[in-house]
Chains A and B, each alone.
Chain A
């Protein structure tokens, strides 16, 4: 079963914003992980992931997000999320993602707090 997804990167000078679209499961998660690790390899240590167009996340998606957080943590980088639904925000807080990454209501705030 193929769920359509899309990832867009806006690579600014000091930071990068990753926009996801679709179900954040293994397929989208791995693609997101590859993009994020690519940016980290290139020296980007400040990332924003905008999940505004991702309404659905499963446990694999969550574990991949944790991997990205840990990979950035090793480089002493910062990851902020924005565009989360109320349920997603509660999920992130409950899964301790919010402990290691920032959660902001909009992209501007997420960028400003990198």
Chain B
């Protein structure tokens, strides 16, 4: 049956009304995303107006451009990334016209359509209907050819006006919902991030999370965290996103000195934020390393408002992947986040310091136990001699060691005193290595019927063996001064070897004194490899004859370097105190040692001491 024009019009009106109702339903269905619902809107518009082609363009007022939200039939895959720049004066013109015929645009818009002729042809645009609420442009409904007619009838134009109004409301509603969703996301991330990052106790984890959260929060494409060095005027990268970004920067940025940031605008910006403690957002100019277009950096402040570092984000993106500038609101948001980040980073740093202190304390205690186990609790009885020793830890664990060894050969004795450099576990282990090496070496010195044969050479060989052992087990900073005495009580002859140790003092029975081993001071053990030793200071031994009543006082530098509150050291006092102690009637080795020890303690008074104190006294009865 052929429909009359009036009947057809009525049927299309009914259809249009039902479609308009559907459009209203779509609008309130909860589908807030315009990119999805715009396809429905376009389908309804084209169906109602019997148009074959069309598109809905969305206007982005912050940056004045249009993008394709929906098109029918769907066109190129990259259609969504098309950007149509609109000058402010073009916006004003578009707002003035309810309908714009692309073939004969109104005065003032000829230039605009001439510039975008290719694009209009691409979407087969014949008629543009600006979508607006009041004087705010929201988008464009672009329509192509109409079926069976070249122009819309009056009632169709009225219908199109209603449709455009509905679409405008839909866009405004979507914009509002997207804005609310975006803010909801940011507020949630901000609220969520604080407890999350504050739980992270490893500084590396905290740095990573802070950067990730900041990048996510600001819709950025890159970010990084720099922290201030505790001693040096510099900030150092702790984490970057993407991680590969770190390779594009020097590890550290100096905060003072000439020429800071002259070659790199980004680095200068970051240095300024660290120095001044103020937020900065800036274009990156030609040095597009952190963010190809722009960056925003905020200071990370500690509890005392001191600048701990700088948090930076780069290249804020918007839908469509376009990079846009950070706004003042973004700066406030990042600044709020940085306050939380400051607490988290400071917490992690304090936790790390506490852990390190606890670890160091545990290591010190362990080292102390090792060291104390190496010191002999009792000393052997040497026929015709009296011997006493004392070791006292003072301050961090040092590496003092002394021993009195009964050698394999009958009635031969070895007295050793050593001071290992450094402190803590490494020093204790080096001392244990030295002792193990010494015990191994002295076990080889049995020469049968003539135990003293080549003793000087044998001691030098022993020193080289110990040097090699310590050199192999330590670093250049780890070495030991060492003094060894080979004692033959049958002849009262001492054969001594000195590897960089303080020379012991002999106090003769008549009160005269003699420093021994001073002229033969070789290198400390473990400082250089064996082949270098002869080139610098080779090991040598010397012999010293003891007589009845003579006293030998061995000591470590903890004795001579004991300081008093006037910052004077004890070194000059040792000799007179040792003489006084040795000259006391019937003084035993233990008495002499105690006398010297008491003199040292009296000398130091209230002054703090940082080195262990060791005394070893040998007296020929």
Contacts and interface: CB of A to CB of B under 8 A. Distances in A.
Given A70-B33, A70-B36, A60 B317 contact: yes
A30 B321 contact: yes
15 contacts: A1-B291, A23-B241, A26-B320, A30-B80, A56-B212, A57-B216, A58-B215, A58-B317, A60-B219, A60-B318, A63-B319, A70-B36, A74-B36, A90-B192, A95-B184
Given A30-B80, A70-B31, A63 B219 contact: no
A71 interface: yes
A95 to B, nearest CB: 6
A91 B319 CA distance: 19
B320 A34 contact: no
B212 A55 contact: yes
Judged by DSSP, the binding face of A is helix
Contact of B182 (A30, A59, A91): A59
A18 interface: no
Nearest to A22: B242
A10 interface: no
Interface in B507-540: none
B181 interface: yes
Contacts of A90: 188, 192
Given A26-B321, A67-B35, A91 B242 contact: no
B13 to A, nearest CB: 27
Nearest to A71: B36
Interface string B308-327: 00000011011111000000
B181 A63 contact: yes
Given A1-B292, A59-B181, 9 more contacts: A1-B222, A1-B242, A55-B212, A56-B216, A58-B317, A59-B186, A63-B178, A63-B181, A70-B31
B244 to A, nearest CB: 8
Nearest to B314: A1
A108 interface: no
B178 A67 contact: no
Interface in A50-68: 55-60, 62-63, 66-67
B212 to A, nearest CB: 5
A27 interface: yes
A62 B180 CA distance: 13
A87 interface: yes
B36 A91 contact: no
A62 B315 CA distance: 18
A25 interface: yes
Nearest to B183: A59
Contact of B317 (A25, A62, A74): A25
B458 to A, nearest CB: 67
